[in-house]
Structure 1
Amino acid sequence: MDKLMWVLGVLIFVVGLLFSIAWHELGHLSTAKLFGIRVPQYMVGFGRTIWSTRRGETEYGLKAIPFGGYIRMIGMFPPGADGRITKRSSSPWRSMIEDARAASYEELQPGDETRLFYTRKPWKRVIVMFAGPGMNLVLAIGLFLTLFMGIGVTRSTPTIQSVSECVVPVSAQTDTCQPGAEKSPANAAGLRAGDTVLAFGGVRIHDYDQLQALIRDSAGKHVDIEVRHRDGSTATLAADIKTNTLAALDKDGYPVKGQTVTAGFLGITPATGVHHMSVGESADEMAKMAEHGVESLAQLPGKIPGLWHAVVDGAPREQDSPVGMVGAARLGGDVFAMDLPATQQLAFFVQMLAYMNFMLFLFNMLPLLPLDGGHIAGALWESVRRTAAKVLRRPDPGPFDVARLMPLAYVVAGIFVCFTGLVMAADIVNPVRIN
């Protein structure tokens, strides 16, 4: 049964991935057709075509490898400086440029002269190229709002799940009290599992993060703690907050691996509950995730040595190690095979699909060919050149020839392929596991 559920989890992720790809390409397709650009092909996947149908002038299809997609637009690049679409050269770099230019015209038909991509105004080309990643962003926001406001997220609460018997530093890596260890402040004060902290040192408590920060800032202080017992009665207890060695926390309240701080210690473990966020809370949470996404993208080059050692030497994968589509699919299968409530499984899938779409948005917006951001950068540069020429009363420089950047695009694509291959190898031989 577990294997069947694992396969089901993988299939659900693949379906979500295919939808995200199709949604991305739909953004390009719809805006290209809106601006009169002819689109001969709309494909989800790469490799061999396993199904296709033609509607009007566009062929719609599904290919065998579900890790990408594309639409083919006529006239992506302008003709060469001599006005010809193709010309041959012995230079390998020139051949790359000319091959790319020729490919963008290979399905040219009579009447397409006014329907070429490069002939559209720069702002229209920016919209067409932004529409793909923009659709991923819209989908990510919709999924995050569904998760935060509809399904809810698991959060630590001011309700106490358990009370530590004694003061134990984080370096001990155990909750077992050693001989002679002093009682924890919570134990000595009479706090018990099931109590809910209402106020700490006269400050009303709204969530556990607030309570945790107050405790850590109260080392060596005598503090009154107002609690509501499990039976509904309230009481005010007094605790002498101890100084202890604890795990350091980052700005979002998560433990920083290998770092400790000296801070106040009460000795409670919070219970967890499902929290449905407001619109404002959801916006704040998405802003944090956006910041993390940008940071993760910037840190990718630094993750390469860890991935290499994970594949070659079998070194453990870090919890923040990059995960590709194969790894994400495996995680989806692992979650479905776990004995978890259906709402938690659903929440995991929604969050994973939302974050994947957001990262697809960020990645495609990089100003590098062959990514969408590279074409956007080319269109914006053309607009700047033409505007400057108009202001300075100089001849129109004409369209910016993005095809001249194709050698760089091949280098970028090669780096991306190698990195993707390394991540895929790590996901297969040494996958990230859920604790």
Structure 2
Amino acid sequence: MEILLYAVGIVFMLIGLGLSIGLHEIGHLVPAKLFGVRVGQYMIGFGPRVWSKRIGETEYGVKALPVGGFISMSGMYPASDGKPVRGLFASLVQDARSANDETIAEGSEERVFYRLPVWKRIIVMLGGPVMNLILAIVIFTVLASGIGLQQGTTTIASVNECVLPAGTTQSECEPGDPASPAAEAGVLPGDVLVSIDGTPLDDFAEATAIVQASPGQTLDMVVARDGENLHLSITPITAERALTDAGGQPRLDADGEQVVAEVGYVGMGAQMGFVPQPIGTGATMAGENVARVAELIVQLPVKLWDVGSSLVTGADRDPDGPLSVVGVGRLAGEVASTDAPILNRFVVLLSLLGSLNIALFVFNLIPLLPLDGGHVLVALWDGIRRAWAKLFRRPPPAPVDATRLVPLTVVVAVLLIAMGALLMIADVVNPVNLFQ
């Protein structure tokens, strides 16, 4: 059964990845067609063709390796002028020009990408990453507002009989230990908090905030029990306690140490559950993920060095480090096969898929060919040159011939392949372990 669940997790992530790639390419395809560019192919994956069908002038298909996708637009770059190319990388440049010329069909010379206005070229190239961002926002919105974030609910799960000192190893009450304010007030497990000090409660975090801010003050607490609302008087004591966030996780200071403070304390704990959040929470979560992924990419050389070092030494991988498709699939399998409620596992899988789309969004914005950000940079440079010429009343310059950047593109492609190979090997030999 565990193996079957592991496989289900991998299949879930493969389908999600295929959907993410497909929508990314649709983000390029739709504006390209709207702007009149001839699109010869729309493909999900690389390698041998698994299935394809031609509809109109475009061939739609799926290839064997679901690690990317592409659309083939006519005339990504200006047609070659027939002059021989010289230099160390002449053959590479010439091959790129020849391949580009083949995409320009006879009779469709005006329906080429490079003839589009700069703003239209940018829209076409940003369409793919933006689709991934939109999908991520939808996923995180479903998680946060549809299912809810896991945090303390208003249902009481436990009531401490006594007050134990912070940091003590004592686990049971002993004679002489003072009773907890919650026990003295008559709070019972299963009670549902309705309000404290006249403030209606939606979750346990709100109750905690009121209690912590009210040491020594007697509060009127309303709880629902057996279909009735009961008024209880509760007086929080001053106690040194480790602070937690809304999700019940310890708050840490800048040095990574747990934050301890003197706050009001009553000695009751809440049941954990999924609490729906405001509709804008999903977009906020996506934005936070964008910032984290951007920071990861800035630190990518160091992170990759750490991955290589852990591969050699066998040291534990950084759980916040980069992963390959293999690593993501492996994590999905482990999540699906854990001994946890189905909803909890589904939430983690959706969260992984949302984070994957954020990674696709940010990574594709890197301003290097062959990534989408590189094509945007070429279009911007073309626009700057044209604006400069217009400013000084000069003839419009020839379109930027990005085939001259083929050597740099090859270097970037080789680095990307090497990075992917390193991460795949590491994800097989020394995978990230989130459940240790």
Q: Please state whether the residue corresponding to 1:105 is helix, strand or coil.
A: helix
Distance change >3 Å, CA 342–CA 97, structure 1 → 2: same
Deviation for aligned residue 1:162: 2.0
Of residues 209, 217, 223 in structure 2, which corresponds to 1:228? 223
**Structure-2 residue corresponding to 1:176:** 171
Task: Report if aligned partners of 1:294, 1:362 keep a CA contact under 8 Å in 2.
Answer: no
TM-superposition CA deviations, 1:383-402 (whole Å, max 9, x none): 23323322332221232333
Distance 2:182 2:410 in 1: 62
Residue 306 of structure 1 deviates from its aligned partner by 4.4
In structure 1, distance between residues paired with 2:243 and 2:313: 29
Pairing 1:195–2:197 present: no
CA displacement at 1:167 relative to structure 2: 3.2
Question: Per the alignment, do residues 189 and 357 of structure 1 end up closer, same or farther by CA in structure 2, a change over 3 Å counting?
Answer: same
Query: Which one is further off, 299-308 or 126-135?
Result: 299-308
Residue 433 (structure 2) pairs with residue 432 (structure 1): yes
Inter-partner Cα distance in structure 2 for 1:395 and 1:261: 66
Counterpart of 1:336 in structure 2 is 336
Kindly provide the CA deviation profile for residues 123-170 of structure 1, in whole angstroms up to 9, marking residues without a partner as x: 22112112222222332333333334434443322332223454354x
Q: Distance in 2 between matches of 1:158 and 1:175?
A: 28
Report matched runs for 1:82-121 at 5 Å.
83-84=81-82, 87-92=84-89, 95-121=91-117
SS in 2 for 1:386: helix
Match of 1:388 in 2: 388
Partner amino acid, structure 1, of 2:219: D
Q: Name the amino acid aligned to 2:432.
A: P
1:45-95, CA deviations, whole angstroms, 9 ceiling, x for partnerless residues? 112223333333333322221111111222212256xx33x6333423x55
| Matching residue's letter, 2:15 | V
Query: Which whole-Å deviations, capped at 9, do the CAs of 1:257-308 have from their partners, x for residues lacking one?
Result: 632222226243321223334xxx1213422331232223213425435434
Q: Which residue of 2 aligns with 1:294?
A: 291
Q: 1:425 to 1:87 in 2, by over 3 A?
A: same
1:350-373 residue CA offsets vs partner (Å, 9 max, x unmatched):
333233223322222233322112
* Aligned residue number for residue 260 of structure 2: 262
Question: Which of 133, 137, 142 pairs up with 1:137?
Answer: 133
Q: Distance in 2 between matches of 1:139 and 1:67?
A: 18
Q: Residue 402 in 1 paired to residue 397 in 2?
A: no
Q: Distance in 1 between matches of 2:12 and 2:405?
A: 38
Residue 228 of structure 1 aligns with an amino acid whose one-letter code is V
Alignment of structure 1 residues 13-92 onto 2, 5 Å: 13-79=13-79, 83-84=81-82, 87-92=84-89
Q: Say if 2:376 is the partner of 1:376.
A: yes
Once the 2 structures are TM-superposed, how far is the Cα of residue 187 of structure 1 from its aligned partner? Answer: 4.7
Aligned length: 424
**TM-score of the superposition, structure 2-length normalised?**
0.83
Farther off after superposition, 139-148 or 373-382: 139-148
CA distance in 2, matches of 1:315, 1:371: 32
Summarize the Cα distance change of 1:178–1:356 in structure 2 as closer, same or farther, 3 Å threshold.
Answer: same
1:212 corresponds to which residue?
Answer: 208
Relative to structure 1, is the Cα distance of residues 24 and 193 closer, same or farther in structure 2, using a 3 angstrom cutoff?
same
Instruction: Tell me the CA shift for residue 434 of structure 1.
Output: 4.3
Cα distance in structure 2, aligned partners of 1:382 and 1:252: 49
Q: Which moved more, 1:185-194 or 1:227-236?
A: 185-194
CA shift, 1:118, in A, is: 0.9
Give structure 1 stretches of 5+ with no counterpart. Answer: none
Q: Which residue of 1 aligns with 2:366?
A: 366
Native 8 Å contact 2:79 2:100 kept in 1: no
CA distance in 1, matches of 2:128, 2:304: 28
Mapped partners of 2:410, 2:177: distance in 1: 64
Distance 1:105 1:183 in 2: 84
The equivalent position to 2:159 in structure 1, one of 156, 163, 176, is 163
Structure 1 CA distance, aligned partners of 2:164 and 2:407?
A: 62
Separation in 2 of the partners of 1:177 and 1:97? 76
Aligned to 1:320: 320
Please report the RMSD computed on the Cα atoms of aligned residues, expressed in angstroms: 3.3
Question: Which amino acid in 1 is paired with 2:118?
Answer: P
Whether the 8 Å contact between 1:197 and 1:225 is mirrored in structure 2 is no
Q: Give the gaps of 5 or more residues in structure 2.
A: none
Name the residue aligned to 2:120: 124
Deviations 1:168-206 (A, max 9, x none): 54x66x783598976655456554422334444564433
Structure 1 letter corresponding to 2:136: A
Structure 2 counterpart of 1:211, one-letter code: A
The 8 Å contact of residues 147 and 350 in structure 1, kept in 2 or not, is answered as yes
SS at match of 1:260: coil
Check the 8 A contact 1:248/1:260 in 2, yes or no: no
| 1-structure distance, mates of 2:180, 2:321 | 36
